[in-house]
Amino acid sequence: MEKRTHGYGPHLMLDLNDCNPEILNDLEACFKLLSELPPQIKMTKITQPYVFRYNADDPEESGITGIVIIAESHISLHTYPKKKFVFVDLFSCKPFDTEKAKNHVVNFFQSKSVKSFVRERGEDFPVSAKTRTE
């Protein structure tokens, strides 16, 4: 297990452009991603994914929103099929392979334009004595 160096945990944020609009508009595909990703990055899924279609007044703003709760925090997505865009967030209280997670999501949505950010969250979060020794 990786030792924690500081903070609460990593937050991977993905802004993916020029994605496959059919995948972005597919409820089953989004459910599948949220269901299969946690074990691939050694996370513990504690709920089934919840995905739903959002039909905005402006069709350009319509898409799919989804979330899966993991013991370590959550993974969420917001798709915009008409804009070929998706936002994905992975937040965890424990270290994970952010590059592996990023590559999996990028390949899944077939994005050709990727912006990714990793931010260590909880810089001032009180870490327990047990956690310090792990």
pLDDT of residue 133: 42
Asked if 41 contacts 66 with a C-beta cutoff of 8 angstroms, the reply is: no
Q: What is the mean pLDDT of residues 9-31?
A: 97
> What pLDDT digit, counting tens, does each position of 23-71 carry?
999 999 999 999 999 999 999 999 999 999 999 999 999 999 999 999 9
Torsion of CA 26, 55, 51, 42, to 10 degrees: 80
pLDDT at 129: 58
Q: What whole-number distance in Å separates Cα of residue 84 and Cα of residue 19?
A: 5
User: Is residue 54 within 8 Å of residue 62, measured between CB atoms?
Assistant: yes
CATH number for the domain whose boundaries are 9-133: 3.60.90.10
Spell out the domain ranges in the chain: 9-133
Residue the block writes with tokens 């424990």:
94
The model's pTM is 0.87
DSSP-derived secondary structure letter, 123: T
- State which H helix or E strand residue 85 sits in: strand 85-92
